[in-house]
Amino acid sequence: MLAKSTTAIAILWTIAGMAAADTRLDMAIGGQTLTESKSGRTEWRYQWPSVYFESRFKGADVTLDFDDPGNTFNILIDSKKVAQLDRPGTRRITLHDLGAGAHTIRLEKRSETQYAIGAFRGFFVPSKANALPAPVYARAIEVIGDSATVGYGNTSAFTKCTPEEIFATTDSQQGPVVLAAKHFGAAYRINAFSGLGMVRNYDGREHPKYHMPMLYPRAVFDDARTDSSPWAPQIIAIAIGGNDFSTDLHDGEPWKTRSDLLADYTETYVRFVKALRQKAPKAFLLIVGPSPDRKEYADAVTGVFDALVSGGETRIDHLTLPTTDNTGCNGHPNTRDDAKVAQMYIDYIESHPDLWQGR
């Protein structure tokens, strides 16, 4: 289903298939993807939230080619949202009557799909004469987190939500780091998974085969391959641990005591950051902890930060999240909360402009 805005842009659905004259546009891609060939056609497969594709072109028409029955998207023309797309499946969608001249088109993944992989086959225009170079971003920011980073149920008017309501009301493009990145005109990569922890997932039972150190290098979760495209963020924020400490331990879990859990969390987190540092030697790291009322989690993050500093990390700082209302689905942050957290990032980065390394 395609939900149109009140703009004058006409939207035409067509049967999947490629006209011989179609020219695929070069794209800027945000988020991890795998590039593959399927039935002789190149596609970009994705699973993480907030993935986006962006191109520039001349002319009145542009076509989007999907193989994705599981996600929702924003479509933007010249920075203005013109449509919201709900689980397009295998289809080509053409936007008409955009007006003469140059345009930018952007496709943004809104939804979180933990067990489904989508694919996008690109933007197409009638001829090479309509193609323009892809946008280029000098600034880049990355975040590693959980549901609060995803934007889990952040547009919901209710706190109690069914799984379908969670899916429908999650808008990862209104997540806090996405908002901060857009403020600075930066590319972004959101590596976040609701319910996941550093060593222990929510309630010790959720998503038993996954943990963040395992998933982080992967473009899609059950495939060990990585995204090989160039990616060199100047800033990496890590905001994970709420699920590790939010519930009581159960019989049969690997940790007999909360002290055991804390020790494992600290050791794993420090090891994870050291591996991250090898991949991103110039990036500035932000270790993000919760508001002080979540004492066990807050103290754990402070301990990780102290251990990293004592171990020699210098391009690093510790941020504390503001208190939020949490009236989104199942007690998660709402969009006002997300904007508040985004402002925390914005204020910090604006007071440390050197983090962009001159860009």
| Sequence-separated (6 or more) residues with CB below 8 Å from residue 27 | 53, 54, 55, 122, 123, 134
3-state secondary structure 32-85: CCEEEEECCEEEEEECCCCCEEEEEEECCCEEEEEEECCCEEEEEECCEEEEEE
The CA distances from residue 111 to 241, 301, 328, in Å, are 22, 28, 15
Q: Are 285 and 312 contacting, i.e. CB atoms less than 8 angstroms apart?
A: no
The whole-angstrom separation of Cα 289 and Cα 135 is 34
C-alpha span between 101 and 7 (Å, rounded): 18
Two structure tokens written together for 141 = 């920011």
Query: Do 207 and 114 form a contact (C-beta atoms < 8 A)?
Result: yes
Name the β-bridge partners of 91: 15, 66
Burial of 356 (0-12, 13-18, 19+ CB in 10 A): middle
Catalytic residue among 50, 55, 111, 147: 147
Element containing residue 132 per DSSP (H, E): strand 131-132
Say whether 246 is catalytic: no
Q: Give the residue numbers annotated as catalytic, written as ranges.
A: 147
